[in-house]
Structure 1
């Protein structure tokens, strides 16, 4: 993997903070504003979710965000087109596109990777693409210097090692089996899981799924190289949705989101 922007972000010594947002929730313009605000708040990498009607890995908060974005007319093409606008307005951190297999197959894998790279995307994460079926997408990503981010769950040591061996960018560790969503407590087995992943991985490891409080972020940062926060942030965006769409109230709403993030990741 030779994506320079991602390599630079991952080489910095501080803990990675990787926020997830849904493209088009509450609007395309708001998504651009939120992305820039998250960079200001300390995001290392942005995970940009493509709204999809059947998001198998997502819990109710992100499912609802997808539904709102689709109702607002967001598509895979329009989501990709947000990235160059973000870049023009000053977004320097890497962007990872989070999407499902079906939209990619309909779009065309080669076409998607070519357009994603030309629009300033740095990597792709496909939660329902099994490791065993990822060769074709992996080869197209390689041609375009895009990192194909691998997900690894608390399964067998052999499978973890197999996935880690081919992983690029950072290894996304699923904190517990199941869908995304805010959880009261982390899985007590996470420490053992992280030890297994750490021994197998030669690249940074980040933990996601259910990370929603400062205490959880601190716990994860002691075990891994960083944290992915999705549902907790998407819920904040939902609460600010009307204000984010209002020119008069937008700045206050963005400031609230930034404050939420800064509080979440402060030591």
Structure 2
């Protein structure tokens, strides 16, 4: 069974929700990433989303854009990211599933089959592909299903019901539910409509529904824990990586503390 499916099956049996941090691979370098992933796992993360830096991010706000720039400046390559996640997955006792957040341009350039083969070998159980239109996702969805590699697409507040049905049908593992209209980044509050959006999606799929974009505070997490199957926190954590180039120990400690605080709000 795919580790993502196994995780959500266990969490549902325990009546728990998944806490999913987003981290940028290679910010400030891959040695730090190899330390960061075990740190978030030990601090309460259930599943990690690993952003593969891309020079032209579509939906990312300034915090994640800056993080991608820091990672790419030394010449980071996709193969380097896969080597780093493979090293983490090979650690004794490692159990936390990992998914990539990857632009379809990276998948297309490598070739879908070659990308999935390399990703699976690197310990990744799936990929969030935010810029792949559902109208063009059928072939990749089928290839991913054949390999038990989870293709995860996004549903946004402006996605029509008819299109949302197509999105969730193409997804595996879980559905990435975007809480706000706009780019990634911390928000003061979540939109009141998120509960209604999740209720509509539950009539379309049995897949877990995980909410991201704007989730950054314990009160946000508490708002979502009774209506979502998981929460995804990105910018609030990635902001902590800005200090890593100068003080790695402090950056790592700050990430640990925030993961403990936010994952604790789910419990």
- The answer to whether the 8 Å contact 2:186/2:216 transfers is yes
- Match of 2:108? 105
Tell me the CA shift for residue 217 of structure 1.
Answer: 1.0
Name the SS of the counterpart of 2:19 in structure 1: strand
Tell me the number of residue pairs that the alignment of Structure 1 and Structure 2 aligns.
259
Distance 1:240 1:109, change over 3 A: same
- The answer to whether the 8 Å contact 1:117/1:144 transfers is no
Measure, in 2, the Cα distance between the counterparts of 1:18 and 1:89. 20
Measure, in 2, the Cα distance between the counterparts of 1:266 and 1:121. 25
- The answer to whether the 8 Å contact 1:24/1:72 transfers is no
Tell me the CA shift for residue 194 of structure 1.
Answer: 1.3
- Match of 1:115? 118
Tell me the CA shift for residue 74 of structure 1.
Answer: 1.5
Tell me the CA shift for residue 167 of structure 1.
Answer: 2.2
RMSD: 1.5
Name the SS of the counterpart of 1:255 in structure 2: helix
1:117-156 CA-to-partner distances (Å, cap 9, x unmatched) read: 1222100111000111112222332232211112111222
Measure, in 2, the Cα distance between the counterparts of 1:265 and 1:94. 16
- The answer to whether the 8 Å contact 2:211/2:230 transfers is yes
- The answer to whether the 8 Å contact 1:17/1:44 transfers is yes
Tell me the CA shift for residue 18 of structure 1.
Answer: 0.7
2:267 is the alignment partner of 1:264: no
Q: Which consecutive unaligned segments of at least 5 residues does structure 2 have?
A: none
2:3 is the alignment partner of 1:10: no
Name the SS of the counterpart of 1:259 in structure 2: helix
Measure, in 1, the Cα distance between the counterparts of 2:247 and 2:147. 38
Tell me the CA shift for residue 52 of structure 1.
Answer: 0.6
Q: Which consecutive unaligned segments of at least 5 residues does structure 1 have?
A: 245-249
TM-score by length of 2: 0.92
- The answer to whether the 8 Å contact 1:117/1:145 transfers is no
- Match of 2:155? 152
- The answer to whether the 8 Å contact 1:50/1:75 transfers is no
Matched ranges for 1:1-267 at <5 A = 2-3=1-2, 5-13=3-11, 14-90=16-92, 91-154=94-157, 155-244=159-248, 250=249, 252-267=250-265
